[in-house]
Structure 1
Amino acid sequence: MKFKKSALFLLLFAFILGPALLLPAGAEPLFATPTTEGFWLWKLLGRLHPLAVHFPVTLLCLAAILEIATFRNFTSRLRPGIDLLVLIGAIGAVISALFGWLLAGQEDYAGELLAWHRWTGVATAVLGILAALLLYIIEKQERWAFIKIYRSVLIFTALAVTAAGHYGASLTHGDVYLTSVMPWTDDYEAAPAQDKKFNLVAIQESGNLDANKELELNVQVRAIFAHSCYKCHSADKIKGELRLDQKDLVFKGGKSGPIIVPGQPDNSELIRRITLPRSHKESMPGKGKALSTEDIALITYWVKKGAPWPDKGQKSIFRVAELKPRTPALPQATENLKNPVDLWVNQYFLKNKISWPEPVSDRTYLRRIYLDIIGMVPTPEEVQQFTQDKRPDKRAQWVQKLLNRDQDYTLHWLTFWNDALRNDYSGTGYITNGRYNISDWLYKSLEANKPYNQFVKELLNPSDASKGFISGIQWRGVVNASQRVEMQAAQNVSQVLLGLNLKCASCHDSFVSDWKLADAYAFANVFADSALEINRCDVPTGKMADTKILWEELGTIDKNAPVKVKLQQLADNLAKPQNGRLYRTIVNRVWGQLMGRGIVTPVDAMDNEPWNQDLLDWLASDFAAQDYDVKKLIYLITTSKTYQLPSVGVKDVNWINSPDFKFTGMLRRRMSAEQFADAVSSVIQPVYADSAVQYNPAGKDKPNPIKTPFVRASLVKNDGFLTALGRPNRETVITSRETQANLLQALELTNGKKFNQVLQQGAQNWLTRYPQSNILIREVYQKAFNRAPLPQELSAAQRMLGTQPSAEATQDFLWVIVMLPEFQFIY
């Protein structure tokens, strides 16, 4: 399509209007009158913004998709349609931006979300005009060299309009508009309500409120504000000039004046708004779920009692876990229960009326401890030895035997720590020297079973061998403030070592905890050579950050000291015995690895309620008393009768993190990518036979001291096979992997090249050794499942293989074996 003069005129008209949109934030909107109400026409046009904005979004995104489809043929038959989409989309973007500017000036919108929506909208308009003008130059003046520039601009236009749409939806419907329908998020609308710790009836019957009851009442009211009102009335979005996230701002009120008259709920605008019918345009909350009858009664009662908001002893609206260590008195042992884990779980079972099931069989237990401690399946010979072992404490003896296999133990737990410390053998940053590998230090630390407090100190105050964790990834190019290496260190240390999410507070004050932006920057300053300027949502504030540890009761950091001295102070302070949170976090992680779910879940949210606080506290205290020995912790858990309970299947993954969770035994879980690869290597054929892809602790071009029957998957660089099975790229901290099967995994295990090659070679090897199907079937079952095939299994396998099995049939048989849940799951 050739551009006509009329089209060019429209573009120029839009281009003239465009700069009028580029007003500084807070300036009077275009054409606005000085009155509060504004001229009716501009208000009408502003309210047409939601209608007009969807048109350019669709057109520009569709144009970008079609442009990508025609990358090899600019003069494709689709060209006229693309030209028209770009032209109309650009004009529509300008008009939508203009209407949006009018809307923002005439209505009661404010806050960070508005700023992001405004400027991404302006960017869309400008980029859209530029893309259309470039098209005009290319086609009218035949300047073909501009094609790449035009296409880049168009793609950026599509990205900008997508971002603008996202911020617009968040502005209109709240920033949890999308996440509130996702079951795995904290914002999920159908999530069960937390139990109320405040009993309104009891308070009402008691008459006057004492200081503690006033405090608890205030906490509950603030919690309602946080969950139901902050999406429109907090620092990110200030609708109607009203904020409900700070005491002085709550009582100040909004554009229409105060919303609370203490002691007079009938005269309080807040009460009027929350009690209006949902169909009323002034009903609040305006978006999302309505307040419950209990919530309305609570707020009304709070106002009636004078809206108390104590300044002293103010309590958090979020649960905050105790920092100090605690050693609860151990329950008395019984005739059948001696292990401390069992004594605590027994109390829990009695309280919840849960009976102790019979422990699992020897075969199940042996396979369980092999996969959990060294990451491999036992051989038929090892199963036979265990079965024939008549010692009464043989299970404990075999656990210790596995823990003493230092190399195998290390090769298994290397996967866990590589994920958590985002260490890998290749990937982003290694080529550009923007990232440091800690594999040697990590391998040797695990092999030596280094005490955990020393392990932590060497991560926080590192040598060259261990500096990769806090050094983070130095991304190429410009990154946002929350991705600088100092902030990465603050985020990663708090997440991995302390079970604390600082990522929200790295951008703005957190909505899910009491941590503030200033706290995150003060902690990041510990890792910085010079003081950091605080950026709020990537916008510099002009304020310089302080330097301090997250919990000042653990000690101080000298802000004027060199960074090496600050790191030494940090290591000493965080690893001290008084930091019970550090040791609860690692105990909870190990429990989660062995049992399928932490005592606290998610394991990165240690402020959440544990299902057994006494068990968690005692384990952490005992861990410290046992010289921070991780192997002793694993021994204690895996020799307990609790660990030997039958596994529990999960029908609904949401139940795992639900407040209604009841512990009855370890959760049945799928093998990790590395466990599955090693199991296939052990039973079928080595998956990784090429030592060239293997990590070598002795260094490049030196003999590898690791002696194993096959290359363990934890030692190799990531590939498509491991990625499909759930191994992450380790550019960010990963402390728990998704255990549910997915489409990518199904495709890889069905048609993956590497997996098929392993099965083909494995079939040849098995046939060479066992050419008769009956013997082959029995040997494979012993190797894979540590048992003989059941009659029906033997019959089905014989029908598949025939008397003289072919290589193809044997390959299919082996594939079926490794696909069975009994092979893939830890029971």
Structure 2
Amino acid sequence: MIKMNKDNLLLFCGIVFFLVLGVSNEVQAFGTVLLFQAEEAETTFWLWQLFGRLHPLAVHFPVSFLILAALLELITLKDFNHKLRPGITALVWAGAVGAIVAVILGLLLANIEDYGGSMLDIHQWTGIGTALLSIFLLVLMGKTTGSQNAKGVKVFRVALIVTAVAVSVAGHFGASLTHGEEYLTETLPWNEPEFSSKDLDIDLVAFESEGELSEQKQVELVGKVRAVFAHNCYKCHSDAKIKGELRLDTKEFAFEGGESGPVIIPGNAGKSDLVRRIKLPKDHKEAMPSKGKVLSDDEIALISFWIDKGAPWPDAAEDVSVYRVAELAPRRPNLPAPRKDLNQAIDIWVDEYFEEQEIDWRAPVDDKVFLRRIYLDLLGLQPSTEEYDTFIKDSRPDKRALKVRELLDRDDDYATHWLTFWNDALRNDYTGTGYITKGRYAITDWLYSSLRDNKPYDQFVKQLLNPDEKSKGFIEGIRWRGDVNASQVTEMQAAQNVGQVILGLNLKCASCHDSFVSDWKLEEAYAFANIFSDSSLVVSRCDIPTGEKAGTKILWEELGEIDSTANRAEKLEQLANYLVQPANGRLYRTIVNRIWKQLMGRGLVEPADEMDNIPWSQDLLDWLATDFEDEGYDLKELIYKIAISKAYQQPAVAVENPLFLADDDFVFEGAVIRRMTAEQFSDGVSQKIHPIFSEEQMKYNPNELAVSEQSDIGFVRAALVANNGLLKALGRTNREVVMTSRDSQASLLQALELTNGEQLNNTLKEGAVKWKEKYEAGDIIVHEVYRQLLGRDPQQNEFNIAMAVLGESPEPEAIQDLFWAVLLLPEFQLIY
């Protein structure tokens, strides 16, 4: 008879566990046989089902025991033979045995119940790993208990901590499997569903009154149903993931059903398992969707109505998108007749919108606010005190339009300011990843010249897509070192970035798998990327090569056909010519929307990279795009027309929550109050107080270009220097990825940089010394600070407070404090 001492017991546990692993396939096969034998009775052998369902109960023991053991071990770090040692030993034993039992029961549960997919695999193997670690832990504990082996004690403690972490990870994935991947984050207020019932836009009463549905009505009805499926069900029930053997993304699979049979019974919603499941409470095990989100009453009513109507799904419906797709062709809406005192086309369209929304026009902003706004928006600079005085005194009725034209004629200041926007969008920079190793190419010379010369936008795009040496950096992308996933090869980068920046669409999802947020398919993304490739790309799905060679075609075949046998240069020339043709209304809607957003703070379509979304005024968007074409694709003329409009000159609107800007219920009332960009703030300090950046910090010098007239503003513009701590804190991106807009909300990092940053502090210190030499008297300095930074004289209470700090003959430190205090005022920081 074998004596069951500690070592033999450990050996026995290990043998039992590995036997369980070794025969797990046989257990599953046996379970399958039992299931097959019981199929006619539609039941599972009760004992296996009972044992499997004990898994959620059993799994809590190793979780609690092992984590508690690890916490107690931390208490005994100074004394391994602490009085808590017997308790820790008992907890480790209980946790290890519990882990083994939980794994056995979990294997049964996975086979019997409706679980599957990668999440199950991760949970299963982290659980098995935890059990193995637990056995290893018992071995270590047996060798260290009562001994003075310091090294062994350290190994045991590390193993215990690792085991506690492992059981926590396994528990997390188990919870994700049961409650959904977002079971923690879905409760947060900002994680609202992207699709809501108001997007259904369908009148079921009207459908009911029609009796027999025409094919057109059937297509419309099933289109709305498929939209609900796409936004709520495809993540688990499409070709990318098939849970419970059920797919809802095509007609054939939807009616075929899943492992439990058909889920749709045409003509009888009450007996359809799909309807039963979507009506279950969100915490019910069989509820659909299973990610913790429930369908709205309207969505449930829609699906039920569709099924009761016989679940019509005409073959023609397969050609109808379940996502909104914006029209590709240009559209020329008829301009309404002028009314009131409005004579600008933009204002006539906005007036029509205001009437629909029952919004009244407000008085335009005063001259001071207008002048500062157009200076910052058009040039990124601020007016001088003399310019404020001259403009306010100017009595000409068209002085605002004349000033806009005057600023747009300052070619170099204009180009330097807009260089920031296009550097972000085209991920062009002066230093950074790839430049030294020739894995990335700068396009700054070409970009600056194009902006300064106001190159027509169609030519601008053509030279980006079919580039020469100076403009090739955008589509060449970044050649990352080492292995990169398939969606980040340079050809796919080009497809994604051209899609995002030039066409306002998201191909990032579709470059890995069929998109969950649009109708774009993996094959379409690869076919578009193939245009940028010297050789034929091989399609990879989720970074796994499929062996299929990609086709070669433009995203919208109605724009033209790419010759798949042509070389890369020929394909790029074809692409450039096809995309810029007037028939591609999307291209021009995208750019006018971007310019509108830069000047107004919120696009007609939002986000500006998703042009399939509904604009708040389709007519205004379409008119701007076609007028842009009529004006010869002139960006300055587009900016001019927006800037002289009454809509642009409305008082700026405060937004309490930035999420409202992306909300479907957004209502336009005027430009949104914005925070200055990193470059605008830095240039404001340099212009008004003291230069922040030196000549040595300038990474790009426009004066080296052969131009007839140069800007002479007396300091180095922030747009021309490399990214640094100050600019980064204030929002400049690293430009390794495309960024078409920046967050306008203040952050803690910005507050810390503005209050404690070395670069700003040194600038204000040097500026204070210069101002002391120039002005000397405290009252003069106070007035000048307010006039220079805020464009006005201080109010009496402001003057009194400032003088109390400065005194009649202030020291530089006091002047520096005044600079700092005024710079942090919203009146300086924000664009009103």
Is this contact kept in 1: 2:237–2:249, CA < 8 A?
yes
Q: Following TM superposition, by how much is the alpha carbon of 1:345 offset from its aligned partner in structure 2, in angstroms?
A: 0.5
SS at match of 2:539: strand
Q: Following TM superposition, by how much is the alpha carbon of 1:544 offset from its aligned partner in structure 2, in angstroms?
A: 2.2
1:716 corresponds to which of 710, 716, 721: 721
Q: Following TM superposition, by how much is the alpha carbon of 1:751 offset from its aligned partner in structure 2, in angstroms?
A: 1.2
1:468 corresponds to which of 466, 470, 473: 473
Q: Following TM superposition, by how much is the alpha carbon of 1:366 offset from its aligned partner in structure 2, in angstroms?
A: 0.4
Distance 1:253 1:562, change over 3 A: same
Is this contact kept in 1: 2:692–2:763, CA < 8 A?
yes
TM-score normalised to structure 1 length = 0.87
Separation in structure 2 between the aligned mates of residue 805 and residue 514 of structure 1, nearest angstrom: 66
Separation in structure 1 between the aligned mates of residue 498 and residue 133 of structure 2, nearest angstrom: 40
In structure 2, the partner of 1:613 is 618
Separation in structure 1 between the aligned mates of residue 72 and residue 494 of structure 2, nearest angstrom: 42
Aligned pairs for 1:389-538 within 5 A: 389-538=394-543
Distance 1:369 1:245, change over 3 A: same
Is this contact kept in 2: 1:171–1:237, CA < 8 A?
no
1:344 counterpart = 2:349: yes
1:173 counterpart = 2:179: yes
SS at match of 1:543: strand
Q: Following TM superposition, by how much is the alpha carbon of 1:282 offset from its aligned partner in structure 2, in angstroms?
A: 4.1
Which stretch of the first structure deviates more once superposed, 306-315 or 370-379? Answer: 306-315
SS at match of 1:550: coil
In structure 1, the partner of 2:267 is 263
1:205 counterpart = 2:179: no
Distance 1:258 1:398, change over 3 A: same
Q: Following TM superposition, by how much is the alpha carbon of 1:743 offset from its aligned partner in structure 2, in angstroms?
A: 0.9
Separation in structure 2 between the aligned mates of residue 667 and residue 154 of structure 1, nearest angstrom: 55
In the TM superposition, what whole-angstrom CA distance separates every residue of 1:572-591 from its partner, at most 9, and x where no partner exists? 11111111001100100000
SS at match of 1:194: helix
Q: Following TM superposition, by how much is the alpha carbon of 1:498 offset from its aligned partner in structure 2, in angstroms?
A: 0.8
Q: In structure 2, what residue type is equivalent to 1:745?
A: Q
Is this contact kept in 1: 2:697–2:722, CA < 8 A?
no
Separation in structure 1 between the aligned mates of residue 476 and residue 68 of structure 2, nearest angstrom: 42
Q: Following TM superposition, by how much is the alpha carbon of 1:66 offset from its aligned partner in structure 2, in angstroms?
A: 14
Q: Following TM superposition, by how much is the alpha carbon of 1:239 offset from its aligned partner in structure 2, in angstroms?
A: 3.0
SS at match of 1:34: helix
Q: Following TM superposition, by how much is the alpha carbon of 1:102 offset from its aligned partner in structure 2, in angstroms?
A: 4.4
Which stretch of the first structure deviates more once superposed, 632-641 or 169-178? Answer: 169-178
Q: In structure 2, what residue type is equivalent to 1:592?
A: K
Is this contact kept in 2: 1:21–1:101, CA < 8 A?
no
In structure 2, the partner of 1:109 is 115
1:628 counterpart = 2:633: yes
Is this contact kept in 1: 2:282–2:293, CA < 8 A?
no
In the TM superposition, what whole-angstrom CA distance separates every residue of 1:267-295 from its partner, at most 9, and x where no partner exists? 32323334456676544445524333333
Q: In structure 1, what residue type is equivalent to 2:737?
A: T
Q: Following TM superposition, by how much is the alpha carbon of 1:105 offset from its aligned partner in structure 2, in angstroms?
A: 2.6
Separation in structure 2 between the aligned mates of residue 713 and residue 786 of structure 1, nearest angstrom: 22
Which stretch of the first structure deviates more once superposed, 256-265 or 728-737? Answer: 256-265
SS at match of 1:35: helix
Q: How many residues of Structure 1 are paired with residues of Structure 2 in the alignment?
A: 806
In structure 2, the partner of 1:194 is 198
Is this contact kept in 2: 1:587–1:620, CA < 8 A?
yes
Separation in structure 1 between the aligned mates of residue 367 and residue 658 of structure 2, nearest angstrom: 29
SS at match of 1:505: coil
1:309 counterpart = 2:308: no
Is this contact kept in 2: 1:112–1:237, CA < 8 A?
no
1:787 counterpart = 2:792: yes
Q: In structure 1, what residue type is equivalent to 2:212?
A: N
Q: Following TM superposition, by how much is the alpha carbon of 1:177 offset from its aligned partner in structure 2, in angstroms?
A: 4.3
Distance 1:410 1:539, change over 3 A: same
Q: In structure 2, what residue type is equivalent to 1:573?
A: Y
Which 5+ residue runs of structure 2 have no aligned equivalent? 1-5, 36-42
Is this contact kept in 1: 2:414–2:452, CA < 8 A?
yes
Which 5+ residue runs of structure 1 have no aligned equivalent? 70-74
1:35 counterpart = 2:34: yes
Distance 1:439 1:774, change over 3 A: same
In the TM superposition, what whole-angstrom CA distance separates every residue of 1:672-695 from its partner, at most 9, and x where no partner exists? 111111111112221112424432
Which stretch of the first structure deviates more once superposed, 88-97 or 34-43? Answer: 88-97
Is this contact kept in 2: 1:681–1:687, CA < 8 A?
yes
Q: Following TM superposition, by how much is the alpha carbon of 1:227 offset from its aligned partner in structure 2, in angstroms?
A: 3.2
Aligned pairs for 1:235-274 within 5 A: 235-274=239-278
Which stretch of the first structure deviates more once superposed, 478-487 or 330-339? Answer: 330-339
Is this contact kept in 1: 2:350–2:647, CA < 8 A?
yes
Q: Following TM superposition, by how much is the alpha carbon of 1:97 offset from its aligned partner in structure 2, in angstroms?
A: 6.5
1:822 counterpart = 2:827: yes
Q: In structure 2, what residue type is equivalent to 1:108?
A: D
Q: Following TM superposition, by how much is the alpha carbon of 1:224 offset from its aligned partner in structure 2, in angstroms?
A: 2.4
1:728 counterpart = 2:733: yes
Q: In structure 1, what residue type is equivalent to 2:115?
A: Y
1:369 corresponds to which of 364, 371, 374: 374
TM-score normalised to structure 2 length = 0.86
Distance 1:498 1:279, change over 3 A: closer
Q: Following TM superposition, by how much is the alpha carbon of 1:471 offset from its aligned partner in structure 2, in angstroms?
A: 1.6
Distance 1:432 1:178, change over 3 A: farther
Which stretch of the first structure deviates more once superposed, 544-553 or 5-14? Answer: 5-14
1:642 counterpart = 2:647: yes
Separation in structure 1 between the aligned mates of residue 790 and residue 227 of structure 2, nearest angstrom: 52
In structure 2, the partner of 1:556 is 561
Is this contact kept in 2: 1:113–1:237, CA < 8 A?
no
Is this contact kept in 2: 1:694–1:711, CA < 8 A?
no
Is this contact kept in 1: 2:412–2:710, CA < 8 A?
no
SS at match of 1:635: helix
In structure 1, the partner of 2:814 is 809
1:221 counterpart = 2:221: no
Which stretch of the first structure deviates more once superposed, 545-554 or 291-300? Answer: 291-300
SS at match of 1:303: helix
Q: Following TM superposition, by how much is the alpha carbon of 1:622 offset from its aligned partner in structure 2, in angstroms?
A: 0.8
Distance 1:281 1:763, change over 3 A: same
Separation in structure 1 between the aligned mates of residue 71 and residue 56 of structure 2, nearest angstrom: 24
SS at match of 1:377: coil
Is this contact kept in 2: 1:30–1:102, CA < 8 A?
no
SS at match of 1:501: coil
Is this contact kept in 1: 2:527–2:551, CA < 8 A?
yes
Separation in structure 2 between the aligned mates of residue 86 and residue 452 of structure 1, nearest angstrom: 69
Separation in structure 2 between the aligned mates of residue 78 and residue 417 of structure 1, nearest angstrom: 62
Distance 1:30 1:599, change over 3 A: same
Structure with higher Rg: it is: 2
In the TM superposition, what whole-angstrom CA distance separates every residue of 1:700-719 from its partner, at most 9, and x where no partner exists? 9xxx9775411111111111
Separation in structure 1 between the aligned mates of residue 800 and residue 761 of structure 2, nearest angstrom: 25
Separation in structure 2 between the aligned mates of residue 143 and residue 465 of structure 1, nearest angstrom: 65
Is this contact kept in 1: 2:114–2:244, CA < 8 A?
yes
Q: Following TM superposition, by how much is the alpha carbon of 1:182 offset from its aligned partner in structure 2, in angstroms?
A: 5.0
Q: Following TM superposition, by how much is the alpha carbon of 1:360 offset from its aligned partner in structure 2, in angstroms?
A: 0.5
Q: In structure 2, what residue type is equivalent to 1:268?
A: S
Separation in structure 1 between the aligned mates of residue 131 and residue 436 of structure 2, nearest angstrom: 38
Q: Following TM superposition, by how much is the alpha carbon of 1:534 offset from its aligned partner in structure 2, in angstroms?
A: 1.9
Is this contact kept in 2: 1:691–1:711, CA < 8 A?
no
SS at match of 1:744: helix
Q: Following TM superposition, by how much is the alpha carbon of 1:499 offset from its aligned partner in structure 2, in angstroms?
A: 0.8
Separation in structure 1 between the aligned mates of residue 652 and residue 469 of structure 2, nearest angstrom: 43
Separation in structure 1 between the aligned mates of residue 674 and residue 80 of structure 2, nearest angstrom: 50
Distance 1:193 1:743, change over 3 A: farther
In structure 2, the partner of 1:565 is 570
